[in-house]
Chain A
Amino acid sequence: MSDTRIPATQDAATSANAVTEPLEETIWEEKVSLLDRIPRAISMAFVFAVFVGLWHGATSLGLVSPIILPTPAETLKDIIFVGKNLLAGEYMLPALWITILEVIYGFALAVAIGFSLGVLVGETVFGERAIMPYLVAIDTMPKVAFAPLFVAWLGFGIESKVALAAFIATFPIVVGTAAGLHSADENARMLFKTMGATRWQTLVKMKLPLALPQIFTGLKIGAVGVMAGAITGEFLGGGKGFGELIRVAASQLNTPRVFSLILYLSLLGLALYALVTFAQRRVVFWQKTTAAASHD
């Protein structure tokens, strides 16, 4: 056998070497538009520059009243002022701290209630039949409209804001948990049945881990909602938080201040979101590749 094969391979080798005449190669370039070739950081910087440029143009040409829209420079000045105030621990820091507390308590409450309800609804037939319809019904309501009720029930303190924040953030966590618990495929369920697993074992060793990616999606949506809830609560229920500072600044037509306060609030929101994302990377470590893919 080997004797007959060797000449064959030699043939192939010699025929490959025989091609010594110049080869007219078909090399061509794949077209990628110039815009798609720009790296991310530069693209982002570009959009930011265009945005600030338009903003500056609109304000410096007197197209917009400075009360409605301050110049970028004024806004930056105020951002630095507020930053200094916060760092120096002056009156804005306690306000920020109150809002941070509302967000933390609200989120913790939302996670506890949302996860428990999610397991109840996702794991039990009764929960799905009897409780889920009510949750869906409440979820379709504009939850902010409940704010006056929470104020009436819990007063003007931090409690009413925590309640509203938790109320808004709970639903995405319920939905994420319940949907996640249904994500186990038929094979996984059969496998656990054939192993004689109890319901508890099936939940803890299979369904919950499989649900984690969707639970974290719910947590991320909840993290955004909890911020909105806390600030809305402060707008409507007073108190001494950051939302109150915004309300006061807006009523004084101090637009640069409103902008800079919103910036610092968004940093708080980003921090919470980043925290959840960090926890997700750690807990759902096996999802790394898909998480990276979804960001690209």
Chain B
Amino acid sequence: MSSVVATPSSESIAADTAVYSLNRVGKTYARNQVVALEDVSLTLKKGSFSSVIGSSGCGKSTLLKIMAGLIPPTTGRVELQGKPVVGPRRDIGMMFQQATLFPWRTTIQNIVLPIEIRDGRDAANKAKERAHELLDVVGLNGFADVYPNELSGGMAQRASICRMLITEPAVLLLDEPFSALDELSRDMMNMELQRICSEQNATAFLVTHSIAEAVILSDDIYVMKPRPGRLAEVVNVDLPRPRTLDMITTPKFGSIVDYIRGLLDKGESL
């Protein structure tokens, strides 16, 4: 490894910087002796988009919770921006299946909530300017002072993207963020997500059940297998960027999807 580091190519320094790294991470639940995760190592490079895919019970959620600092691993090392992850951190942004906007707060009050929690109300008020900028980025300008029950599902998820970005996190952890949306909105939101991530040069990590969604968005796809949860293979997606929904019908896209489906089916009858 050290020999590779000795000759760094100048143009790839920024692009190849590891933002998030997991080294031989495992998780065993002591209560019922279940090995949820075994020997997972992965590296997220700055500005890259990675996905993890696998059937239910393959340890995806456990992996994500460990990466979010919500639960500790039993073995291995977890490191974000060179510092070990030993709890929730401001430089970790997270998004869930549900938008989880609180109905007694307006959209903008929901967006600055992370700042209010960490730095208090004054800081949250100051962050409103940035929140307005983010609302522009996700195409929600004009909805700042609207209560969430007036937003559609897609709009609510756009707002929750803003809430995730407000603390300017180094990594975005996305837990099936659009799976509760209908398919049309979902496709559109995925394209939006791609645009936002590339605009912000964000490092993103997506948990998904959908192979097509993983392929259209990702540079790297981590395919996981259950019992015990482990990485089966890392699939590199070399479709050009920006990706478009038209690519779904191309033979190359189809062959990648088929390959991943083959990996998931191997030895598993779902």
Taken together as a complex, chains A and B put the C-alpha atoms of A2 and B210 apart, in Å, by 35
A196-B117 CB under 8 A given contacts A206-B102, A209-B102, A285-B104? yes
Q: What is the number of contacts between chain A and chain B, taking CB atoms within 8 Å? A: 52
Taken together as a complex, chains A and B put the C-alpha atoms of A191 and B149 apart, in Å, by 19
A194 touching B104 by the CB < 8 A rule? no
Q: Which residues of B contact A205 (CB under 8 A)?
A: 113, 116-117
Taken together as a complex, chains A and B put the C-alpha atoms of A192 and B114 apart, in Å, by 8
Partner of A201, one of B68, B89, B117: B117
Taken together as a complex, chains A and B put the C-alpha atoms of A20 and B209 apart, in Å, by 52
Taken together as a complex, chains A and B put the C-alpha atoms of A206 and B102 apart, in Å, by 8
B interface majority secondary structure:
loop
B118 touching A194 by the CB < 8 A rule? no
Partner of A187, one of B96, B113, B149: B96
A138 at the interface (CB under 8 A from B): no
A193 at the interface (CB under 8 A from B): yes
Question: From residue A190, how far is it (CB to closest CB) to chain B in Å?
Answer: 6
A286-B104 CB under 8 A given contacts A185-B98, A187-B96? yes
A38 at the interface (CB under 8 A from B): no
A289 at the interface (CB under 8 A from B): yes
Question: From residue B96, how far is it (CB to closest CB) to chain A in Å?
Answer: 4
Q: Which residues of B contact A289 (CB under 8 A)?
A: 149
Interface size on A, residues (CB 8 A): 20
Q: Which residues of B contact A196 (CB under 8 A)?
A: 87-90, 117-118
Residues of B within 8 A of A (CB): 65, 68-70, 87-90, 92, 94, 96-98, 100, 102-104, 113-114, 116-118, 147, 149
Residues of A within 8 A of B (CB): 185, 187-188, 190-197, 201, 205-206, 209-210, 285-287, 289
Instruction: Give 21 A-B contacts (CB < 8 Å), ordered by A residue.
Output: A187-B96, A187-B97, A187-B100, A188-B102, A190-B65, A190-B70, A191-B94, A193-B88, A195-B113, A195-B117, A196-B88, A196-B117, A197-B117, A205-B113, A209-B102, A209-B104, A286-B103, A286-B147, A286-B149, A287-B103, A289-B149
